[in-house]
């Protein structure tokens, strides 16, 4: 009823595929497989599964649905009431292009997940491998209790441990890139000229200045409405603010430095959104401009890092900075505390006057 087949992996190690097949009258009633690193483990699993399946009612319990992992991913995405971020959605969609996604849930063990991590590690950085496994783990956590799909959450936990010890995964590196004033000069000049040629284009000079002085993320900038702006209190309601546990419905009031307030006030009044543009229009426009201008390794999100750093450099303490940035955990701001007060990098910045000038239309 059961067989064990040895096969070589690309890295030279041996995998042992244990298969259970139950036939009746020549017809296959049940098929199940699991991959192991050790033959002894494969034999032990095979013996256990044969006993479970041949026990009274054992086979009937196994007649539940055993879809491929790709279908479980689709169901997770479609039924999740929590908003799935763009990065997570992209990762889950990418996983569907790998062989493991075509495997039935019951056939996926820790060795298969480690092999998947090994394959990823040949293409991407350990931080990215960690992200892939983390997003996949969310599906393993609910598949069996929510839908009865035989995905083994223990196998995922074991795979995480192995991948970490093998160096396949790691935490994301802290990014320290900040734009220089010279780089900002190039960008502001570029976007000013583009705005003159195409008045309907995104006013990137204003967006860049707002991102720096408000310390807001790109998606938060595009969601801010005029009704969210408390001009008298110099603060703004940031809707669905990103945090590790929740996003949707996580609305937070954040202090708004005067420079950012003046940029927001300069925007036209013909639409409810202060910056009525898509994240793609802003993000791709910024990336293309950097490529065109020869500015290397600068991301739009680096503007937020620059804004937070500036607040420390002009003498703000951790609670004051957190009130602007929206960090719930002050420990997240510890990496900035090594900065010494060096004055305001943007004191007398010529582009602030341009960014705060009144716009007639968006």
Look at strands 2-8 and 229-230 and give their pairing: unpaired
pLDDT band of residue 78 (cuts 50, 70, 90) is confident
Q: What CATH number is given to the structural domain containing 214?
A: 1.10.443.10
Strands (E), 109-243: 229-230, 235-238
Domain boundary among 106, 138, 173: 173
pLDDT at 86: 76
Q: 154 with 228, same domain? A: no
Asked which of 37, 63, 89 is the last residue of a domain, the reply is 63
Cβ pair 21, 30 in contact under 8 A: yes
* Residue 244 CB-half CA count within 13 A: 5
What proportion of the chain, given as a percentage, has pLDDT over 90? 54
What does the pLDDT read at residue 158? Answer: 94
Specify if 318 maps to a domain: yes
Worst-scoring range by mean pLDDT, 58-62, 148-152, 238-242? 58-62
Cβ atoms within 10 Å of 294's Cβ, excluding its own: 8
Same domain, yes or no: 29 and 141: no
* pLDDT for residue 206: 96
List the Cα angle 40/43/48 in 5-degree steps. Answer: 125
- CATH at residue 164: 1.10.150.130
Distance CA 69, CA 139 (A): 9
pTM of the model: 0.64
Confidence band of 360 (pLDDT split at 50, 70, 90): low
> Is 66 within 8 Å of 106 (Cβ atoms)?
yes
User: Is residue 40 located within the same domain as residue 103?
Assistant: no
- 193-245 residue pLDDT tens: 999 999 999 999 999 999 999 999 999 999 999 999 999 999 999 987 876 45
Report the alpha-carbon distance of residue 77 to residue 91 in Å, rounded: 12
Whether residue 292 sits in one domain with residue 144: no
Q: What is the CA radius of gyration of the chain?
A: 27
Q: What tokens were used for 13?
A: 């190690």
Q: Judge whether residue 348 has pLDDT over 90.
A: yes
Is the model's pLDDT at 270 over the cut of 80?
A: no
114 shares a domain with 51: no
Cα separation of 68 and 139, whole Å?
A: 13
The verdict on 84 and 209 lying in the same domain is no
Q: Report the CATH number that the domain containing residue 24 is assigned in CATH.
A: 3.30.160
> How many domains does the chain divide into?
3
In a domain, 80, yes or no: yes
Do residue 132 and residue 211 come from a single domain? Answer: no
Asked if 323 and 343 sit in the same domain, the reply is: yes
Residue 301 has pLDDT above 70, yes or no: yes
Asked whether residue 361 is domain-assigned, the answer is: no
**Does residue 42 sit in the same domain as residue 69?**
no
Whether residue 141 has pLDDT greater than 60 = yes
- Average of pLDDT values for 122-142? 92
88 in any annotated domain = yes
User: Mind giving me the DSSP string for 268-315?
Assistant: -SSSSBSS---HHHHHHHHHHHHHHHT--S--TTHHHHHHHHHHHHTT
Q: Which domain holds residue 247?
A: 181-355
Domain co-membership, 69 together with 149: yes
Domain stop point among 143, 173, 203? 173
The answer on 189 and 326 residing in a single domain is yes
Single out the residue of 62, 45, 44 nearest to residue 53, CA to CA. Answer: 62
pLDDT tens per residue across span 19-34: 888 877 777 777 788 8
pLDDT of amino acid 202: 95
Token pair of 41, please?
A: 């483990």
Q: Is 362 part of any domain? A: no
Per mean pLDDT, which range of 45-59, 74-88, 89-103, 189-203 is the poorest?
45-59
Q: Based on the domain organization, do 217 and 331 belong to the same domain? A: yes
Residue 301 structure tokens: 């999100």
Q: 13 falls in which pLDDT band (50, 70, 90)?
A: confident
The DSSP output letter for 142 is: H
Tokens of 150: 């035989």
């Amino acid at each position: 009823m059961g067989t064990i087949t040895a096969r070589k992996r690309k890295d030279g190690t041996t995998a042992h595929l244990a298969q259970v097949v139950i036939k009746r009258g020549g017809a296959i009633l049940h098929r199940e497989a699991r991959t192991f690193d050790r033959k002894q483990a494969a034999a032990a699993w095979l013996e256990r599964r044969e006993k479970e399946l041949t026990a009274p009612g054992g086979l009937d319990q196994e007649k539940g649905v055993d879809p491929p992992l790709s279908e479980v991913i689709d169901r997770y995405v479609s039924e999740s009431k929590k908003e799935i971020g763009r990065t997570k959605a992209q990762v889950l969609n990418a996983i569907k292009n790998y062989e493991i996604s075509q495997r039935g849930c019951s056939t996926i063990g820790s060795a298969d997940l480690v092999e998947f991590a090994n394959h990823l590690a040949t293409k991407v950085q350990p931080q990215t491998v960690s992200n892939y496994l983390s997003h996949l783990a969310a599906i393993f956590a609910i598949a069996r209790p929510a839908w009865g799909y035989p995905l083994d959450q223990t196998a995922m936990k074991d795979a995480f441990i192995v991948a970490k010890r093998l160096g396949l995964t790691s935490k994301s590196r802290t990014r320290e890139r900040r734009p220089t004033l010279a780089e900002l000069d190039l960008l502001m000049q570029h976007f000013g000229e583009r705005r003159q040629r195409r008045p309907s284009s995104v006013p990137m000079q204003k967006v860049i200045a707002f991102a720096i002085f408000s310390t807001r993320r790109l998606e938060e900038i595009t969601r801010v409405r005029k009704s969210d702006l408390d001009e008298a209190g110099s603060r703004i309601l940031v809707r669905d603010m990103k945090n590790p546990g929740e996003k949707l419905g996580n609305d937070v009031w954040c202090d708004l430095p005067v420079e950012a307030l003046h940029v927001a006030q300069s925007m036209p009044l013909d639409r409810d959104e202060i910056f009525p543009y898509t994240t793609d229009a802003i993000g791709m426009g910024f990336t293309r401009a950097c490529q065109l201008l020869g500015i290397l390794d600068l991301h739009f999100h680096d503007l937020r890092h620059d804004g937070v750093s500036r607040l420390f450099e002009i003498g703000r303490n951790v609670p004051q900075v957190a009130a602007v940035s929206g960090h719930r955990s002050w420990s997240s701001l510890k990496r900035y505390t090594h900065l010494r007060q060096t004055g305001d990098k943007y004191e007398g910045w010529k582009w602030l006057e341009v960014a705060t000038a009144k716009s007639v239309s968006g």
